[in-house]
Amino acid sequence: MKIIPFFICLLVTVSLVIALNRQWGSIPPIGKFVSPQHGFWQNADAYDKDYSADLKFPGIIDSATVFIDERLVPHIFAVNERDAYFIQGYLHAKFRLWQMEFEVYAAAGRISELIGDKALNFDREKRRLGMVYAAENSLREMEADPVTKNECDAYTEGVNTYIDHLKESELPVEYKLLNYQPEHWNNLKSALFLKYMSLDLAGHENDFEYTNAKNYFGIGDFEKMYPYLQDSLDPIIPKGTTYPAPGVMVKPPSSADSQYFSKSDPADIVENKPNRDNGSNNWAVSGKKTKSGRPILCNDPHLGLNLPSLWFEMQIHTPQFNAYGASFPSAPGIIIGFNDSCAFGFTNAERDVRDYYEMQFKDETMNEYWFEGKWKQATFRFDTIKIKGKPDFIDTVAFTVFGPVMYDKKFTGGRTSGKKYYAVRWKAHDASNDLKTFNRLNHAKNYEDYYNAIKNLHTPGQNCIFACKNGDIAIWDQGEFPAKWKRQGDFIMPGTDSSYAWQGTIPQEENPHMVNPQRGFVSSANQFPADPAVYPYYLGGYYPMYRGLTINRRLSKMNDITTDSMELLQTNNYNSFASMAVPLLLKNISRDSLDNNEKDYYDTLRKWNYNNDVNESGATVFILTWSNFEDIVWHDEFSKCRQPTTLPESESLLESVLKDSAYKFLDDVNTPQKETLRGDILAAFRKTTLTLKNLEVARKLSWEIYKDTRINHLAKLAPFSRLHLNIGGGSNCINAANADHGPSWRMIVELTDTTNAYGIYPGGQSGNPGSRFYDNFVDDWANGKYFKLWVMNKNDINDFRVKYKMAFRK
């Protein structure tokens, strides 16, 4: 034996193995990763992979069968609900485990565990907003309800059963790339996921930006720039509806004029915000407007577009209910869908339920704060944030009567220096069992069942739409909404006493609603739920109004409606905002004053039919011209304001200049002469033509190329994303397909005796990038196609659509 060369070679071999078995920066353990029997190759599912299986688990009470169809949609047939939710958890984990965990990590502020300290500010923000605190509060309420507890327990057990039987080679490829292992699931994680949705849908506010704008411009100009009312509004409950006197009377504190509406100190906070386009369309038409004589319900929630998709399609059949639709991997039940009696859907209520209070602490220890004339003890929550490759970070968060102190001297989101203390009061902190809404809706047989179901939905507030086979249609703007005085919470409020606290909750029955209206349809598209000039409570929030205008205008005119005509409406690209803005632009540009190049674009704009269609360049010319116009109008005012602000809404500017061509802010305050509407528009158009020329040369003038819709992988891995989709639409269109945001589940349900339903989402049933089912719906979705949703019957087991069968036994 040659000792020296032996040990040298041994050392080389062992070093090689160790080097290939560990992570180097963002490079995964490469030996483990490429091993065909262990690594990513095991995630490359065979094209003809068989999903059939015979499974025995002690968690199953009775036997149950899952039939999986050609689109990989599972149809669960269980004889009791517990087994049904166990299997739903198992299937969600089987197809979407990585996504479920990742979203919950994001909700709980745990991303640093995966990617290191670059996510620390993100994580601290989640913890300081009280995401975990909110989920814990809700979980107590959920687990106090035996139905919800059983449902969640069964679901959790199903997820964990899958995890416990998972071989290393079967780990989703993202775990292999990022080199970590899944944890066990628990009910808190389902609650955290629901808070993740609450943050997305009920976490938007502009309190810091509005406070700064109010301080800089004064409340008078602020009201001109950020008006509460909208002239062209067609609210969810039509104008002309009267409301009884409010059951809860609220009034501003006597100090409001001096302390709240007057100028105050700047607020140096720049927040991360949920996407402001989070919204949706839904409508239901009654049988008198349809060809079949039966109601049709439609819904398309507009959310961030990701792969794996937020949604997972499935059918759950038990003796008690038979529901089909889109489910959330991470939560039990069907969220948007239908059963044998009725259909249900949601759009976001957009209400501002997140407010800030400026607190006065005695000193930097934050032990005591001034409240109601004396020093009050704060409580503390110690958050340990694990960081990959670094020691843990411990964040101390003080809690006040209002809620957690989100921003203080130790944390401002990492963007500015903290001088003050801001506590956040967020409706999502309050305990509620929102999940029960979906459980009851899955079981609902009629309007009463629906009404009793949605009463459980507190946050995020939603416009809950309903249609039933007995002919009923209804909509409720549902949520537990604070009753506020006008402008309450739009600015940072003083937190030294309770006079600025929310004074009450809008009584349930006073939430705007409409049942079987004369006009034959109910609809919502995130606009104001009621006429804000008449509704007895303040409706602070951001309410886009143009999609609602298009929908209501079209639905009023439509008769003999079929699912086909609903598909066309749901994928309609008409831009009502442009239809009002373009004539204003054209009217104020004299074609003769333009050079030939500018004339070309002017003609493009003039000939445009206001449809944000594929191959249309008019939409691009409009968007860019409008955006330059806004810039010219606002730049001079805002460039001198040192604190973070947000520009007034586009609709506010449009309505202001339509009303008043001498709108105060058209003038450039930096020049001696007085700028006019005509001048501003012409300048904007001239500025735009330079950009347009460059786009045209680069062949990027066409709307879908300019807009460039994509579906990003959740961890932003480009090769796992779908880029450059051929789809029109966008903001203010019913087909709200923006760059990375849009209709995340299009559904149309005709409530005929045998339900006639269609649907599609931009993704695929499998969360595995190595599966042909990963993104197989994407192109059809972009092209506006739908799949027939097949509600399987017990005696359909030999149907050609059944491709695989999973048997679950105890």
Partner 1 sequence: MRLKFTIAILLTALLCFVGGLWFPWWEIAVASFIVSMIIPQQRWDSFLSGSLGVFFLWGILSWWIDFKNNSILSQKIAQVLPLGGSPYLLILVTAFIGGIVGGFAALTASYIRKT
Q: Which is nearer to partner 1, 330 or 771 (CB)?
A: 771
Q: How far is the CB of 306 from partner 1 (least distance, A)?
A: 16
- What is the C-alpha to C-alpha distance for residues 342 and 323, in angstroms, rounded to an integer? 10
Closest to partner 1 by CB, 4 vs 245, is 4
Is 524 within 8 Å of 475 (Cβ atoms)? yes
Select 380 or 804, whichever has its Cβ closest to partner 1. 804
CB closer to partner 1 out of 779 and 796: 779
Instruction: Say whether 766 sits in a helix, a strand or coil.
Output: coil
**Minimum separation from the CB atom of position 167 to partner 1 (A):** 11
Q: Nearest approach, Cβ of 570 to partner 1 (angstroms)?
A: 30
Q: Where are the alpha helices (DSSP H) in 130-206?
A: 131-144, 146-164, 173-178, 187-202
Shortest reach from residue 352's CB to partner 1, in Å:
41
The four Cα atoms 480, 483, 489, 494 give a dihedral, to 10 degrees, of -110
User: At closest approach, how far in Å is the CB of 351 from partner 1?
Assistant: 41
In whole angstroms, the minimum distance from the beta carbon of 114 to partner 1 comes to 16
Closer of 170 and 448 to partner 1 (Cβ)? 170
- Which residues contribute to the site for partner 1 (CB under 8 A)? 1-2, 5-6, 9-10, 12-13, 16-17, 20-21, 30-32, 34-48, 168, 173, 177, 717-720, 769-772, 774
Shortest Å distance, C-beta 280 to partner 1: 31
- Phi first, then psi, for residue 394 (nearest 5°) are -110, 120
- Comparison of 580 and 717: residue with beta carbon closer to partner 1: 717
Q: C-beta of 38: minimal distance to partner 1 in Å? A: 5
The residue (of 3 and 697) whose beta carbon lies closer to partner 1 is: 3
DSSP collapsed to 3 states, 114-138: HHCHHHHHHHHHHHHHCHHHHHHHH
d(Cα 631, Cα 638) in Å, to the nearest integer?
10
Please name the residues in contact with 754: beta carbons below 8 A apart, sequence gap of 6 or more.
791
E-strand ranges in 268-403 read: 279-285, 296-304, 306-307, 312-317, 322-327, 336-338, 342-348, 354-359, 368-371, 374-377, 379-387, 390-399
**Beta strand spans in 442-516 (E):** 462-468, 473-478, 482-483, 493-494, 504-505, 513-515
Instruction: Considering the complex, state which of residue 576 and residue 768 has its C-beta at the smaller distance from partner 1.
Output: 768
In the complex, the smallest distance separating the C-beta of residue 94 from partner 1, rounded to whole angstroms, is 18
AA letter at 452: N
- Residue 22, C-beta contacts closer than 8 angstroms, at least 6 positions apart: 29
With a CB cutoff of 8 Å and minimum separation 6, the contacts of 493 are 260, 355, 356, 357, 358, 500
Q: How far apart are CA 466 and CA 736, in angstroms?
A: 22
The minimum distance between CB 95 and partner 1, in angstroms, equals 16
Nearer to partner 1, 20 or 584 (CB): 20
CB closer to partner 1, 33 vs 338: 33
Which residues on adjacent β-strands are paired with residue 483? Answer: 504
Q: State whether residue 653 is helix, strand or coil.
A: helix
